[in-house]
């Protein structure tokens, strides 16, 4: 059913939601997982694969860390870095390389914030012909105020 699952990561804590959700699915379906992060800083957008920046170094290390985590659990995983606008690059990746499922965490900003900031998830959902799994990440709890005793 899902021979190849594309998991998009943005390098924020919301990634944990989709990573933890995909692990049992990939094991159950014996899927190959491809982790994709789109570097979208100035250097990445300007120089693409030739970019050299702290962002690229950190993104590459992060992808390798997540790839190793899934591999350690017996999931055939590889990682790729793309450069540019996240929504556009994810769609291009799906069109060029193909997959059976795109899995993404969403920040859940809401309609107004998505319109202002843009939404890669919204763009991908409308542009690809394969199923898209969107998992809204749980909001981080605010620290409880300390009370004096």
Three-state SS letters, the chain: CCCEEEEEECCCCCHHHHHHHHHHHHHHHCCEEEEEEEECCHHHHHHHHHCCCHHHHHHHHHHHHHHHHHHHCCCCEEEEEEECCHHHHHHHHHHHHCCCEEEEEECCCCHHHHHHHCCHHHHHHHHCCCCEEEEECCCCCCCCCCCCC
Contact between 98 and 131 (Cβ < 8 Å): no
Fold of domain 4-136? Rossmann fold (3.40.50)
The more confidently predicted of residues 26 and 51 is 26
Residue 145 has what pLDDT?
52
Residue 116 has what pLDDT?
39
Residue 114 has what pLDDT?
44
The more confidently predicted of residues 46 and 26 is 26
Query: What's the predicted TM-score (pTM) here?
Result: 0.84
The more confidently predicted of residues 102 and 137 is 102
Say if residue 112's pLDDT is above 70: no
- Rounded distance between C-alpha atoms, residue 91 and residue 13, angstroms: 23
Where are the domains positioned within the chain?
4-136
Residue 100 has what pLDDT?
97
Q: Is 51 exposed, middle or buried (0-12, 13-18, 19+ CB in 10 A)?
A: middle
The more confidently predicted of residues 73 and 113 is 73
pLDDT tens digits along 60-91: 999 999 999 999 999 999 999 999 999 999 99
């Amino acid at each position: 059913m899902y021979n190849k699952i594309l998991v998009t990561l943005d390098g924020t804590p919301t990634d944990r939601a989709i990573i933890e959700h995909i692990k049992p699915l990939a094991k159950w379906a014996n899927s190959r997982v491809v982790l994709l992060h789109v570097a979208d800083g100035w250097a990445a957008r300007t120089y693409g694969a030739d970019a050299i920046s702290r962002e690229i170094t950190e993104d590459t290390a992060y992808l390798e860390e997540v790839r190793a985590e899934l591999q350690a659990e017996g999931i055939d995983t590889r990682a790729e870095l793309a450069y540019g606008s996240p929504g556009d690059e994810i769609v291009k990746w799906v069109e060029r390389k193909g997959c059976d499922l795109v899995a993404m965490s969403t920040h859940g900003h809401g309609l107004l914030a998505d319109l202002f900031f843009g939404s890669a998830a919204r763009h991908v959902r409308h542009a690809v012909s394969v199923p898209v799994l969107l998992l809204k990440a749980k909001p981080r709890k605010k620290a409880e105020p300390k009370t004096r005793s």
